[in-house]
């Protein structure tokens, strides 16, 4: 850890700053079609500066653990990352990321997932991490595979996305399989 950040090869995960919220709202939340592909909750419009922003952290100790993703080379905000649905009894958590459009396709996703795994396994002491993503989300499938996740199955027509049901892929990684 470096100055309150978890650092990878090309990204760092840090606490959310107030200045991150309007950028994440504008570039990730306000794109309703893309937001609906990455979140199981229905999209709803929110006004700028709203306390209802899903990127606003009201209780840092609560689940999920939200991070802002920063590209190390430019020191710019690249997106949002989270560890959610933590089950402390079974020591399982879920990993999710969303990168700003201008940062997609630049190899940041795999490193972001790797750093989240380090957080989940080393800091939170979890035994298993998993990813659920749409079957056609090639970027997340590549990022998860690159970070050591194994494809475990398909949840048929389990997601309602932009007017149709879509399949989701379930990927998992155990702490014994993790390498960083």
| Two structure tokens written together for 73 | 């080379």
Report the pLDDT value the prediction gives residue 115, as an integer from 0 to 100: 98
Residue 39: φ, ψ to 5°: -135, 135
For the chain, the average pLDDT equals 93
* pLDDT (tens digit per residue) in 109-126: 999 999 999 999 999 999
Report the pLDDT value the prediction gives residue 46, as an integer from 0 to 100: 85
| Two structure tokens written together for 94 | 């879920």
Confidence of residue 148 (pLDDT cuts 50, 70, 90): very high
Sorted by where each begins, the domain ranges of the chain are 6-127
Structurally, at CATH architecture level, domain 6-127 sits in 3-Layer(aba) Sandwich (3.40)
* pLDDT (tens digit per residue) in 69-106: 999 999 999 999 999 999 999 999 999 999 999 999 99
């Amino acid at each position: 850890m470096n100055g309150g950040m978890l650092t990878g090869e090309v990204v760092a995960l840090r606490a959310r700053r107030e200045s991150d919220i309007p950028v994440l709202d504008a570039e990730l939340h306000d794109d309703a079609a893309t937001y609906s592909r990455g979140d199981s909750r229905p999209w709803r419009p929110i006004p700028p500066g709203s306390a209802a922003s899903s990127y606003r952290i009201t209780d840092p100790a609560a689940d999920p653990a939200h991070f802002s993703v920063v590209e190390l080379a430019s020191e710019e905000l690249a997106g949002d990352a989270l560890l959610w649905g933590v089950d402390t009894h079974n020591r399982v958590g879920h990993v999710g990321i969303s990168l700003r459009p201008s940062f997609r396709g630049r190899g940041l996703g795999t490193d972001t997932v790797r750093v989240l795994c380090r957080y989940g396994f080393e800091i939170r002491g979890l035994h298993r991490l998993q990813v659920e993503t749409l079957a056609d989300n090639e970027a997340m499938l590549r990022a998860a595979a690159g970070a050591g996740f194994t494809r475990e199955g398909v949840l048929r027509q389990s997601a309602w996305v932009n007017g149709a049901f879509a399949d989701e892929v379930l990927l998992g990684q155990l702490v014994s399989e993790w390498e960083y």
